[in-house]
Structure 1
Amino acid sequence: MGMSVTISAATADDAEQILKLQYLCYQREAELYGDYSIEPLTQSLDDLRAELGKGCVLVARLGAEVVGSVRGTVDDKGTAAIGKLIVHPRMQRHGLGGRLLAAIEERLAGERDAKRYRLFTGHRSEGNLRLYRRYGYAQVGTEEVNRRLSLVTLEKEATPSAYAASA
């Protein structure tokens, strides 16, 4: 490709690119579950901008183009909720999702004192489940949303080296 992908904190100027990428990336999930009303496809630009202001949002850039993103927040008990990990379809299967996941974990542990990480995905989203398990996540629960969709919740503990490295 000639350029390397960089990962950094998202800015307010990234909101439109993130939303467009999110819409593109969640088409496959919507098709898989037969539901195009999922929140990532209906989120407004204003709602996304509000998320940028209150959580930790990272973007992966190829030049000026946003080709990936992930979001996270940490509650008062130290549990980090990680969500909306997206990678442009043309950039998938090259390790970028794993790089984004590791980067958000490091950021949440170092800056927001995360003690554990939690995320979820649909039960049919095999690629997502493989990625999360490869990065040490274990299934801790399943919630049936409707007859077509069950959400699988996965967690892992933050390792001391993760937050020591970012201190």
Structure 2
Amino acid sequence: MGLSVTISAAEPQDAEHILKLQYLCYQSEAELYGDWSIEPLTQSLDALRAELDEGYGLVARLGDEVVASVRARLDEEGTVRIAKLIVHPRMQRHGLGGRLLDGIERHFASEAEETASAKRFQLFTGHRSEGNLRLYRSKGYAQVGTRELGPKLTLVTLEKAA
């Protein structure tokens, strides 16, 4: 009998596993853009822990192994900023990214019912990251802007109403 993937809130003890997975997952992005100095590959464990403390994170586990994760935080203007949606390469194309995105939206939507604070969900990805763009568009996100970070990379910002 195979193991099933479970999704739960990220705990402080997950930080090191998330960082290792993040490093693995962003190798393909670094290669795509020819830039291995991108923030997900240079982020420190302390910085990741601070992100988890300041916001909310989810992890997907296959048994005891963290195989996917996402983080988000609500800003003062009511925007839920979703970041670093990652799925282990061997687990991609099985719907985990979509499940995590749905889960993070549900978390902030249920909080919004209590506090009426979340107005929109926003995330970004690189312009060449077609798989990411396809997923986000399939989940109702629409492009609201672009920002050129250099000759090789333009960030595409997408959002949808909460």
Q: TM-score under structure 1 normalisation? A: 0.92
2:156 maps to 1:152: yes
Amino acid at match of 1:157: A
The residue aligned with 1:98 is 98
CA distance in 2, matches of 1:114, 1:56: 14
Q: Verify the 8 A CA contact 1:79 1:116 in the aligned structure 2.
A: yes
Q: Verify the 8 A CA contact 1:121 1:152 in the aligned structure 2.
A: yes
SS of the residue aligned with 1:146? coil
Residue 82 (structure 1) shift: 0.3
The residue aligned with 2:65 is 65
2:121 maps to 1:117: yes
Gapped regions of structure 2 (runs ≥ 5): none
Which range moved further: 109-118 or 64-73?
Answer: 109-118
Residue 77 (structure 1) shift: 2.0
Q: What is the root-mean-square deviation in Å for CA atoms of aligned residues?
A: 1.0
The residue aligned with 1:45 is 45
Q: Verify the 8 A CA contact 1:56 1:108 in the aligned structure 2.
A: no
Which range moved further: 47-56 or 28-37?
Answer: 47-56
Which range moved further: 17-26 or 71-80?
Answer: 71-80
CA distance in 2, matches of 1:8, 1:83: 17
Q: Percent identity of the aligned residues?
A: 74
CA distance in 2, matches of 1:49, 1:155: 25
Aligned structure 1 segments of 4 or more residues deviating by more than 6 angstroms? none
Residue 150 (structure 1) shift: 0.2
SS of the residue aligned with 1:73? strand
The residue aligned with 1:137 is 141
Q: 1:44-90 deviations in whole A, cap 9, x for unaligned?
A: 11111111111101100111100000000111221100010000000
The residue aligned with 1:163 is none
Q: TM-score under structure 2 normalisation? A: 0.95
CA distance in 2, matches of 1:50, 1:75: 15
CA distance in 2, matches of 1:51, 1:143: 23
Q: Verify the 8 A CA contact 1:5 1:61 in the aligned structure 2.
A: yes
Residue 111 (structure 1) shift: 2.2
